[in-house]
Amino acid sequence: MTEHYTKLTVSAMHHCSKCERSTEHRVDQGRLGPCLNCIEKLQVEHAYNEQLRRQEQRQGVLFREAF
């Protein structure tokens, strides 16, 4: 059975299957949410990909080959 937390709980220590260690997890509406370390890594990755996409849009067709 899964563990439930009070509504005022913000985070709790739990084993993360991705990190394979005990880490802080977000608590959403009394239920255990995702690992805070994994969320941070995903946010950095998404920000980097967004930056690359915007950079490609700014360059336009400058370096593309015309066929």
Residues 35-45 pLDDT 10s: 999 999 999 99
* Residue 3 included in any domain: no
* Residue 5 included in any domain: no
67 has a pLDDT exceeding 80 = no
- Residue 5's Cβ-count burial label (10 Å; 0-12, 13-18, 19+) is middle
* Residue 4 included in any domain: no
1 has a pLDDT exceeding 60 = no
* Residue 65 included in any domain: no
* Residue 1 included in any domain: no
**56 or 39, which is more confident?**
39
Task: State the total domains in the chain.
Answer: 1
Which domain does 25 fall in, by range?
11-58
Q: Would you give the DSSP letter of residue 37?
A: H
Q: Indicate the pTM of the whole model.
A: 0.65
